[in-house]
Amino acid sequence: MLGVVELVDALRLPASCRVDQRVPKKMLIENGAPTAADKRLLNDAIEEIQWIAALKPNTVGVPEYRNEEREYLEVAVLSIATRGAQATVDSDGAAAAAKPVNTTRLAELVHRAVPYPLLLLLATPHGLFLSMAHKRWAQNEAGKVVLDGEMATIDVAGDLSPAHAFMQCLALARQPQATLMALYQGWLDCLTALQAARYTGTFKAVDDPALAAARRGALRECQRLEQEVGRLRTQAAKEKQMAKQVDLNLALKRVQADLTAAREQL
């Protein structure tokens, strides 16, 4: 079964960039939890945080990136092991039934707490997730870094065939070396290729930036259309009037045709 050790090994990181240190949860809670609920999530869900590597110009030989919007001086590789569920309390303050950890929100909080772009590994009882997100300077707060665009978080321990090809794609030497931002984008494109493979059944890495951008757009369209398919199916199942059921089913067929066309662009 694919685990954190296998995923880190697939990165083929040089010893010069390895850190391999535990990070106290308190650091994330103090820097990445804007609400009390977020503090509870970080405190209850996280079992252990491991800082695996720091990729810098002097540790991997890839130049930094700077412009007026962002600076990529370092890419951090972080691993977090989570507990099975998050404890909750009811309106009276009494302990309530535990609920599954919100992996997406947890990943977002960690990305926000760390000022460097992250290659974030989340080992949970229900999957091994890899999460990435670009960052830029905040427009209204000097010196503050915010997420730029959509965060990509995917379970990489799913279908074995695409996951195997994905692991082969991850090696540091196979990523763009022009700047640390280009390197990070290369790993993000590997993640996008795995997401696309979940639709197509075949993992195919893309080296051309324009083709990679087109694939990201097609993937977003597939995800949007899948949500629309689900919405229409639910609505049609609840509809009592025959005429409206017919209209909904026709709309569903049109959206499914659009989804098929979008998948062909992946």
The pLDDT score that the predictor gives to residue 150 is 85
Distances from the Cα of 57 to the Cαs of 51, 54, 60, 125, 180, in angstroms?
Answer: 18, 10, 6, 35, 8
Q: Which of 151, 196, 187 is nearest to 169 (CA)?
A: 187
d(CA 103, CA 131): 10
Residue, of 90 and 30, whose pLDDT is higher: 30
Do 176 and 255 lie in a common domain? no
Do 213 and 172 lie in a common domain? no
Do 128 and 184 lie in a common domain? yes
The answer to whether 169 and 193 are in contact (CB under 8 A) is yes
The per-residue pLDDT of the chain, averaged, comes to 88
| β-strand partners of 135 | 147
Q: What is the mean pLDDT of residues 220-238?
A: 90
Do 151 and 258 lie in a common domain? no
| β-strand partners of 66 | 71
The pLDDT score that the predictor gives to residue 264 is 86
The answer to whether 96 and 90 are in contact (CB under 8 A) is yes
Do 131 and 231 lie in a common domain? no
The answer to whether 82 and 106 are in contact (CB under 8 A) is yes
Domain with 223, as residue range(s), is 208-266
Give per-residue pLDDT as tens, 135-163.
Answer: 999 888 777 889 998 899 988 876 556 77
Residue, of 183 and 214, whose pLDDT is higher: 183
Is the pLDDT reported for residue 174 higher than 70?
yes
